[in-house]
Amino acid sequence: MDETQILNLVKERLGIRTAVRDSYLTAIVQGVLKELQDEHGLELDPINAYHLMFVVDFATWRYQSATNNETSFTGSPVSMPRHLQYRLHNLLLHVGSKQS
């Protein structure tokens, strides 16, 4: 997938207009792509808009949860939002896993 395109969309979603956080956001995008590939075995289609937007939304959530230092009442990190869990589950079912 085009990391530059993903980075630009994440920045748009967050309302970031400068390049000040680009290295941090790029690391998050690369981490999300690597996690989806290595941990979940997904081979995302670079021209599929659904796949692209999932990565953008996932990377955006990662950035926001890290910068807001979100924790639950017990002090443990907040889990992935349901809409992202649902979309990841659907990707695993429809795209399949190379580990199968």
Domain range list for the chain: 3-94
**pLDDT of the residue at 95:** 81
**pLDDT of the residue at 76:** 54
Residue type, 65: S
59, 1 in Cβ contact below 8 A? no
Round to whole Å and give the CA distance between 55 and 44.
9
Tens digit of pLDDT at every position of the chain (100 positions): 999 999 999 999 999 999 999 999 999 999 999 999 999 999 999 999 999 999 999 999 999 988 766 554 555 567 889 999 999 999 999 887 555 4
Sign of CA dihedral 72, 75, 77, 79: negative
Task: Look up the pTM and report it.
Answer: 0.85
Sign of CA dihedral 12, 15, 16, 17: positive
